[in-house]
Every structure is written in C-alpha cells, then in structure tokens.
C-alpha cells in the first residue's frame, strides 16, 4: 500500500516557539492531504485540508494563523504550530488519499507535540 | 453533517473470546465506511473498508464488518481475539469524491484478558 511518512515522530518545544511537522507521501502524489489532531484518549478531529498549490481549508474553530499549512509540492505538506502554548500539546496526524478514485486514506505515524 | 457514534468506550474481552465493536453513523449520502486500529502512540492502520457491494466485508487480522443500511450500522467483529488485538479502534465515515476527508467516532479501547 501507499506510504505516508510524518516527521518528527515526537517533539518537545518551549512555549512561544514554533514547530514544523512534515507529512510526505513516499510513493504516490497527493494533491490533497488532511491534518488531524488527537487529544489524549480522544478521537481524531479534522483540523484542515491541505491543497497543493492553493490555500488550505480549515475546519470551524481552527485558527489558521496559529496552524499554518503549506502544501508546496505533490508529496509534501507541512503544519507549523506558531507561538505554541501548552494547550497545543497533542498528537497530530496527517493523511493522504490514494488509490482510484482516492478511496482510501493512508495515515502518517503521527507526531506527539509537547509544549513546556 | 455526518457523525459517527461508537457507544462503547471500553470493552474487556478474554483472549480467545469473540469481539464485537459497535458503530453507528449518520450520513446524508452513500457512505464510505472504515475501521482503523491504533496502538498507543502510533498512527492508524486500516482494518477494512466498505464502499459498495457485499455488505459483509473481510479485513486484515481476522476482522470482518457488516454494513446494515437500515440500522445505519457498521459493526466490527472478530471470532477469536488475540492478546495483540488490545488497542484503540476507530470507526470512520467519508464521502465519495471528498478525497477521504474522514469523520471519526470516539473510539473504543479494547483490553484483552489472558
């Protein structure tokens, strides 16, 4: 199956700094990628849809100035958490659709962000 | 708007016993339905999916699920649970043409007793 690689798998940062998370489709091209957030012992909530070559689409309640998404190529989307605060600590997971017609989502391994 | 409900937050089952995880969805069109498994601190692994056709779907690791349109359900089953099946299980619904933008249920944590 298709492989989605997410990096880093975990990161600890100081409050007020920014953190970039990368999501790569390794063996296929993805014009769309999705970013989810998962709080401990909770489900995944869609944050935004990353669109190659255009602006991301954010879900209601997600601050686009805080969670910057860039989809610069057909294999890479990045999520930057700006001015991170402890409440941003979470598990962030990306996914990319593959197959025909994009009938399956392949997930990265996730990034555990801890803001101290 | 679509939604997915997994009524059971936790389920404890003995190794070798059968397992059934419930999933109910609300969706205005023909749903694409998925079951994913997540081990602690890990990403998601697809167990199985339903798009159309046979309503009984076979997946990996001995799992199967049955789509029942009349009940808006997509329950996951396994005849005999192994200790390695202890994990969090998520049911999700997506839309055709939406590139797999998924709505997830709250998840069910499965504990396996020896």
Q: Do B100 and A108 touch (CB under 8 A)?
A: no
Give me the pLDDT at residue B12, please: 97
Tell me, yes or no, if A107 comes closer than 8 A to chain B by beta carbon.
yes
> What phi-psi label fits residue B71: left (phi over 0), alpha (psi between -120 and 50 degrees) or beta?
alpha
- The residue ranking higher by pLDDT, A25 or A102, is A25
- Comparing CA positions, the residue from A49, A4, A29 lying closest to residue B98 is A49
Tell me, yes or no, if A74 comes closer than 8 A to chain B by beta carbon.
no
Could you tell me which chain A residue has the CA closest to the CA of B102? A46
Give A90-108 pLDDT, tens digit per residue: 999 999 987 655 567 889 9
Q: Do B36 and A107 touch (CB under 8 A)?
A: yes
Q: Over pLDDT 70: what percentage of chain A?
A: 95
Cα dihedral sign, A33-A34-A40-A42: negative
Mapping DSSP to helix (H, G, I), strand (E, B) and coil, where does residue B69 land? Answer: helix
CB pairs under 8 A between A and B: 61
Question: Tokens 């990403």 sit at which residue?
Answer: B43
How far is A27 from A18, CA to CA, in rounded Å? 29
Give B7-56 pLDDT, tens digit per residue: 999 999 999 999 999 999 998 777 889 999 998 878 889 999 998 888 99
Task: Please state the φ and ψ torsions of residue A78, each to the nearest 5 degrees.
Answer: -125, 145
């Amino acid at each position: 199956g298709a492989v989605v690689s997410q990096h880093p798998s975990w990161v600890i940062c100081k409050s007020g700094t920014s953190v970039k998370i990368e999501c790569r489709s390794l063996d296929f091209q993805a014009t769309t990628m999705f970013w989810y957030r998962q709080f401990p012992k909770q489900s995944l909530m869609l944050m935004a849809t990353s669109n190659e070559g255009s602006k991301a689409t954010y879900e209601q309640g997600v601050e686009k100035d805080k969670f910057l998404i860039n989809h610069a190529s057909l294999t890479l989307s990045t999520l930057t958490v700006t001015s991170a605060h402890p409440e941003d600590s979470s598990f962030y997971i990306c996914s990319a659709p593959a197959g025909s017609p994009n009938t399956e989502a392949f997930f990265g391994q996730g990034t555990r962000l801890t803001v101290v | 708007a679509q939604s997915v409900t997994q009524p059971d937050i936790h389920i404890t089952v003995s190794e070798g016993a059968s397992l059934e995880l419930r999933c109910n969805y609300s969706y205005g069109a023909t749903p694409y339905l998925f079951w994913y498994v997540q081990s602690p601190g890990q990403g998601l692994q697809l167990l199985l999916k339903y798009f159309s056709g046979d309503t009984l779907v076979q997946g990996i690791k001995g799992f199967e699920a049955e789509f029942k349109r009349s009940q808006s359900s997509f329950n996951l089953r396994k005849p005999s649970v192994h200790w390695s099946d202890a994990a969090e299980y998520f049911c999700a619904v997506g839309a055709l043409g939406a590139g797999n933008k998924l709505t997830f249920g709250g998840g069910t944590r499965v504990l396996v007793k020896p």
